[in-house]
Amino acid sequence: MPTLKDLSKREERFVSGHRLCPGCGAAIVVKLVLSAIEKPVVVGCATGCLEVASTIFPFSSWTSPFIHSAFENVAATMSGVEPAYRSLKKQGKMDKDIVFVAFGGDGGTYDIGLQSLSGAAERGHKIIYICYNNQAYMNTGIQRSGATPKGASTSTSPAGKVIPGKVQFQKDLTEIMVAHEVPYVATSIIGRWNDLVSKVEKASKTDGFSFINVLSPCRLGWPHDPVLTLEITRVAADTCVWPVYEVVNGKYKITYKPKEKKPITEWLKMQGRFAHLLKPENESLLKSIQDEVDRKWEILLKKSE
């Protein structure tokens, strides 16, 4: 695996000048993902924070070929680009080895883009799909999504007298992708750069569809101090709120196991969207969330044995 020094010498494929917020996890996700790939890259990007803030006409922060797709269809778009490339290569009109990467937020991945994502996975296109998961529709006003955790306060699930934040648990999209029986599925965090880089390297060498779900803090929607962006993801892994693992051809492996599993309150207290959960009247709700995190962690431990 390359060192940070090695990565610093590679071509910059996502450069300064974008309008993403200070401390935005998505920008870090993109820089790490693209620096992990040595071969030429073609990027597809769904509408969302990442696309809107990095391609304000006439400027762009992308130095690789870049395709802007609608909110719901980046996987479908790349499903056309990748076989077109294979056809050109077969005809002898192209000889480069190219890696195709699709970026989508959780809204464009878990919800509105799930159909095209599932189709691309089922067909086995050689694409790396990266979900920069900030756990809500941040670009359009912090509305809850299928990735929003239970108890989180959003503009469409506001914590108050009626409801204590979102009342449902989030969808487990990583396991949905495992069920597609694609060769490589993983989760990662930006707070452990080496974990994400090594997984992208594996995905780039995988013959078939790869999916990596990366926790991507949003300093406005969570909200949190921008300097805590990386630390929040590390605490998410230490509390097992966000387990870090990979599934290679159906075989599970936990790639980061905390030495001491911390209570979820250590993660919740770092973000304004969960402030109400720490009040005495929400003790039972807090316990139900902790119990679910513990249950799913035990299941993952058994799967990885």
Q: What is the CATH number of the domain that holds 86?
A: 3.40.50.970
- Judged against a pLDDT cut of 90, whether residue 143 lies above it is answered with yes
Mean pLDDT for 198-216 is: 97
- Judged against a pLDDT cut of 90, whether residue 183 lies above it is answered with yes
Beta bridge partners, 185, equal 211, 247
Q: Distance between CA 136 and CA 143 in Å, rounded?
A: 6
Quote the mean pLDDT of the chain: 97
Mean pLDDT for 243-252 is: 98
- pLDDT value of residue 6: 85
* CA within 13 Å, CB half, 187: 27
90-105 pLDDT tens trace: 999 999 999 999 999 9
- Judged against a pLDDT cut of 90, whether residue 179 lies above it is answered with yes
Number of domains forming the structure of the chain: 1
- pLDDT value of residue 223: 97
Q: Please, where are the H alpha helices in the chain?
A: 4-8, 25-35, 49-54, 74-90, 114-123, 173-179, 193-204, 229-238, 265-268, 283-303
212-244 pLDDT tens trace: 999 999 999 999 999 999 999 999 999 999 999
Q: Quick one: pLDDT band at residue 8, thresholds 50, 70, 90?
A: confident
Rounded to 5°, angle at Cα 195 from 12 and 236: 110
- pLDDT value of residue 178: 98
Longest dimension (CA), the chain: 68
- Judged against a pLDDT cut of 90, whether residue 5 lies above it is answered with no
Mean pLDDT for 134-146 is: 97
Mean pLDDT for 32-53 is: 96
- Work out the number of other CB atoms within 10 angstroms of the CB of residue 163: 12
| CA 205 to chain CA centroid, nearest Å | 19
52-84 pLDDT tens trace: 999 999 999 999 999 999 999 999 999 999 999
Which range of residues forms the domain containing residue 29?
Answer: 4-303
- pLDDT value of residue 293: 98
- Strand ranges across the sheet with 244-248: 66-69, 41-46, 99-105, 128-133, 210-215, 184-189, 244-248, 251-256
In this structure, of 14-18, 109-113, 180-184, 239-243, the range with the lowest mean pLDDT score is 14-18
Mean pLDDT for 291-296 is: 98
- pLDDT value of residue 93: 96
* 188 and 172 Cβ atoms separated by less than 8 Å: no
Q: Which of 244, 239, 217, 236 is nearest to 28 (CA)?
A: 217
* CA-to-CA dists, residue 101 to 78, 92, 128, 233, angstroms: 8, 23, 5, 23
Rounded to 5°, angle at Cα 54 from 20 and 101: 110
